[in-house]
């Protein structure tokens, strides 16, 4: 089956169990409490029950898709995501976005935990993404697209400028996110390379979903919670701790929710 057929199958099942969405929110590591902070929870389903929906595997990710009523709009919130390092393929990383689009969503808000390349951006701060660098070595747009779907997509301005302006008062800064394959954390040399390339943040997700959304002409916003300083930055230790990452994100979820809600309610 093609990615379009897979997303249509998932969407058909979901529309029998959840109200049609205006938007999709994807929760990053440690942010599974986000649905209840955004608005009134309507209904929740286990992703294991959704036909052809890939199961998130990373520790700290949830396994639900929740319909939330946010000030007049219906939002689907995925409490977990698939990463490329899970080994399920690049289309699995983009499946939630493509399914939400098939169900009627026109905007996507992506969240993640990220390492900061700036010592002045403290752990626990929330940063809005203004651009990205794809270091994954793969792109969900590869392959022959379905009829009517553009193949050669302009990735510039992937992150909606009006959304960015709507959330700036709720975030610490805006910056460029570099997506690395993982699941290993970056070496000091890799961080020096990313700094030279213009990255402000580094993580292991978000870019496949953002590119898939861009191809489908969906409006995109994305946020990183700074869960640690990148390797070699400031006094950070070389060996990072995933459990510490989850704890840092959980502590910042209230701030993250305000920023996400600002985008969901923006015109």
Q: For residue 159, what is the DSSP state?
A: B
Phi, psi dihedral angles at 216 (to 5 degrees): -90, 10
Tens-digit pLDDT profile for residues 110-138: 999 999 999 999 899 999 999 999 999 99
Please, which residues bridge with residue 128 across strands?
A: 174, 223
Per the residue annotation, which of 119, 150, 186, 209 is the catalytic one?
Answer: 186
Kindly list the structural domains of the chain, giving each domain's residue range(s) and its CATH number in brackets, ordered by start.
Answer: 3-264 (3.40.50.1580)
**Low-confidence winner among 54-63, 78-87, 152-161, 203-212 (lowest mean pLDDT):** 54-63
pLDDT band of 238, cuts 50, 70, 90? low
pLDDT of residue 33: 86
pLDDT band of 62, cuts 50, 70, 90? confident
Question: Has 40 been annotated as catalytic?
Answer: no
Average of per-residue pLDDT values in the chain: 93
Using omega within 30 degrees of 0 as the cis cutoff, is the peptide bond preceding 81 cis?
no
> Minimal CA–CA distance to 37: which of 263, 256, 266?
256
pLDDT of residue 267: 82
Q: What is the mean pLDDT of residues 14-34?
A: 92
Query: Tokens 């809600």 sit at which residue?
Result: 261
């Amino acid at each position: 089956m093609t990615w379009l057929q897979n997303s249509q199958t998932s969407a058909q099942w979901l529309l029998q169990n959840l109200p049609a969405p205006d938007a999709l929110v994807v929760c990053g590591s440690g942010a599974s409490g986000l649905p209840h902070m955004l608005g009134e929870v309507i209904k929740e389903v286990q992703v294991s029950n959704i036909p052809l929906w890939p199961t998130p595997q990373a520790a700290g990710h949830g396994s639900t898709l929740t319909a939330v009523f946010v000030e007049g709009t219906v939002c689907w919130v995925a409490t977990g995501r698939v990463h490329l390092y899970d080994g399920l393929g690049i289309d699995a990383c983009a499946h939630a976005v493509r399914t939400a689009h098939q169900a009627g969503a026109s905007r996507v808000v992506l969240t993640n935990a990220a390492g900061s390349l700036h010592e002045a951006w403290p752990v626990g701060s929330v940063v809005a993404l203004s651009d990205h660098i794809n270091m994954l070595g793969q792109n969900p747009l590869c392959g022959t697209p379905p009829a009517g779907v553009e193949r050669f997509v302009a990735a510039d301005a992937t992150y909606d400028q009006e959304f960015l302006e709507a959330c700036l008062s709720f975030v610490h800064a805006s910056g460029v996110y570099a997506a690395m394959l993982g699941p290993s954390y970056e070496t000091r040399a890799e961080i020096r390379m990313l700094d030279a390339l213009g990255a402000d943040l580094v993580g292991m997700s978000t870019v496949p979903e953002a590119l898939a959304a861009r191809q489908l002409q969906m409006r995109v916003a994305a946020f990183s919670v700074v869960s640690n300083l990148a390797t070699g930055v400031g006094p950070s230790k070389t060996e990072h701790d995933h459990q510490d990452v989850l704890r840092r994100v959980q502590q910042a979820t209230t701030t993250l929710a305000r920023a996400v809600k600002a985008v969901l309610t923006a015109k």
